[in-house]
C-alpha cells in the first residue's frame, strides 16, 4: 500500500550550529522522530550520552555518517569501519552510511568494478555483528567510483548482502547520474537535495532546472518505499535566522506538491 505522505527526517547538517541536545529538540519540535547523525557532530560526547539524549528527546538516530572511501578496502579502512560501527551501535543508530571514493582516482587502473564486492563482503560481518545496516550512497559525479544505484544493487545481490545493505537514493545524484533505476525494496534512505522553489533550501548547482524531487518522491512512495526522507542540506541553511520556520515551510511545500499532483 502506498504511504500517504513522506516520513521526514532531519540531518545534523541542518543544525550544525546547535549542540546535540538542541538539534534533537529541533527535530522533536517539528514533529520529526528520525535524525541523521555524524560522530564528528558530537565531538567529546560519549556515544552512550548521545543515545541517552536521543531517548530523552524521543528521536531515533537512523544513521551515522559516514565511512568514507568504503570501496577502497585496506587494513586501515577495516579498522576505521569497526570503530565507526562501534560508535553507531553504541549511540543507538540503526545504520552506517557508506560513501565511495569520489576523487577520480578509481580510474587509474582496471580494479574499480572488483573493489565494490570486496568491500561489501568485508563490511557485511562488521555490520551484522553490531545489528547495523550499511547504507550505500552512490554519488552522481563523474569523478565518483560508484555513480549508479543499479551497480550498487547488483553488487549487493552478488555478495548475498540484502540482509546487511540498503541504498541511499539522493534526488540530486539520481538526476546528475542520469539514472532511471529505482529499487524501492532495497532503498533504506532518501535524501531530498533542495526543493524546486528558490525561496527554500536551493543550491543552484543542485537544482538542475529542478532536480525533480516531486516525481522521484512520488515514484518511491508508489513503489512501496516507507522509509525516511531526509533533507540533504547545504551551506546556505546555516545562515538562516529561522531554521525551524524554513524547515516547516519546506515540509509543507513538498506535502502540498504531492497532494496537488497525485490523485487521491
Q: What is the pLDDT of residues 67-93, one digit of tens each?
A: 999 999 999 999 999 999 999 999 999
Residue 167, by phi and psi: left (phi above 0), alpha (psi -120 to 50) or beta?
A: beta
Rounded to whole angstroms, how far apart are CA atoms 80 and 70?
Answer: 10
Tell whether 187 is covered by a domain: yes
Residues 122-160: tens digit of each pLDDT: 999 999 999 999 999 999 888 899 999 999 999 999 999
Burial string for 27-55 (b: 16+ CB within 10 Å, else e) reads: bbebebbbbbbbbebbeeeebeebbebbe
Instruction: State percent of the chain over pLDDT 70.
Output: 83
Specify the CATH number for the domain of residue 27.
3.20.20.150
Region 49-69: mean pLDDT is 96
Q: Which three cell numbers stand for residue 185?
A: 525494496
Is the pLDDT at 32 greater than 80, yes or no? Answer: yes
Alpha helices per DSSP H over the chain: 20-29, 47-57, 75-90, 112-128, 149-158, 171-176, 204-207, 213-222, 243-261
Tell whether 181 is covered by a domain: yes
Rounded to the nearest 5°, which phi and psi values hold at 190?
-120, 130
Find all residues with CB under 8 Å of 113, minimum gap 6, and list them.
Answer: none
Region 47-53: mean pLDDT is 95
Tell whether 215 is covered by a domain: yes
Residues 177-198: tens digit of each pLDDT: 889 999 999 999 999 875 444 4
Find all residues with CB under 8 Å of 98, minimum gap 6, and list them.
Answer: 66, 67, 70, 71, 123, 134, 135, 136, 137
Q: What is the pLDDT of residue 208?
A: 30
Q: Which three cell numbers stand for residue 91?
A: 549511540
Rounded to whole angstroms, how far apart are CA atoms 180 and 215?
Answer: 12
Tell whether 1 is covered by a domain: no
- Most confident listed range (16-20, 114-118, 213-217): 114-118
Tell whether 155 is covered by a domain: yes
Alpha helices per DSSP H over 129-170: 149-158
Binned at pLDDT 50, 70 and 90, residue 36 comes out as very high
Tell whether 152 is covered by a domain: yes
Tell whether 57 is covered by a domain: yes
Q: Which three cell numbers stand for residue 89?
A: 551501535
Rounded to whole angstroms, how far apart are CA atoms 173 and 221?
Answer: 18
pTM: 0.88
Total domains in the fold of the chain: 1
Is the pLDDT at 172 greater than 90, yes or no? Answer: no
Higher pLDDT, 46 or 1: 46
Q: Which range of residues forms the domain containing residue 66?
A: 7-261
Tell whether 2 is covered by a domain: no
Is the pLDDT at 200 greater than 50, yes or no? Answer: no
Amino acid at each position: 500500500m502506498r504511504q500517504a505522505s513522506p516520513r521526514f527526517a532531519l540531518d545534523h547538517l541542518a543544525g550544525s550550529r546547535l549542540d546535540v541536545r538542541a538539534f534533537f529538540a529541533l527535530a522533536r519540535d517539528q514533529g520529526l522522530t528520525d535524525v541523521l547523525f555524524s560522530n564528528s557532530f558530537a565531538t567529546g560526547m560519549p556515544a552512550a550520552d548521545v543515545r541517552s539524549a536521543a531517548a530523552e528527546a524521543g528521536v531515533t538516530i537512523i544513521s551515522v555518517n559516514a565511512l568514507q572511501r568504503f570501496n577502497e578496502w585496506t587494513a586501515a579502512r577495516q579498522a576505521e569501519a569497526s570503530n565507526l560501527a562501534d560508535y553507531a551501535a553504541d549511540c543507538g543508530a540503526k545504520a552506517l552510511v557508506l560513501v565511495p571514493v569520489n576523487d577520480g582516482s578509481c580510474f587509474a587502473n582496471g580494479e574499480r568494478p572488483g573493489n565494490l564486492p570486496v568491500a561489501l563482503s568485508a563490511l557485511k560481518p562488521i555490520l551484522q555483528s553490531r545489528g547495523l545496516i550499511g547504507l550505500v550512497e552512490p554519488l552522481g559525479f563523474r569523478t565518483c567510483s560508484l555513480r549508479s544505484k543499479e551497480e550498487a544493487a547488483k553488487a549487493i545481490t552478488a555478495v548475498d548482502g540484502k540482509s546487511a545493505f540498503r541504498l541511499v537514493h539522493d534526488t540530486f545524484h539520481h538526476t546528475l547520474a542520469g539514472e532511471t533505476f529505482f529499487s524501492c525494496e532495497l532503498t533504506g534512505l532518501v535524501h531530498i537535495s533542495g526543493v524546486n522553489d528558490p525561496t527554500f533550501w536551493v543550491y543552484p548547482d543542485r537544482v538542475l532546472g529542478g532536480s525533480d524531487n516531486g516525481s522521484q518522491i512520488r515514484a518511491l512512495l508508489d513503489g512501496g518505499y516507507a522509509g525516511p526522507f531526509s533533507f540533504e542540506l547545504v551551506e546556505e541553511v546555516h545562515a538562516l535566522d529561522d531554521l525551524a520556520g524554513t524547515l516547516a515551510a519546506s515540509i509543507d511545500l513538498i506535502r502540498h506538491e504531492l497532494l496537488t499532483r497525485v490523485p487521491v
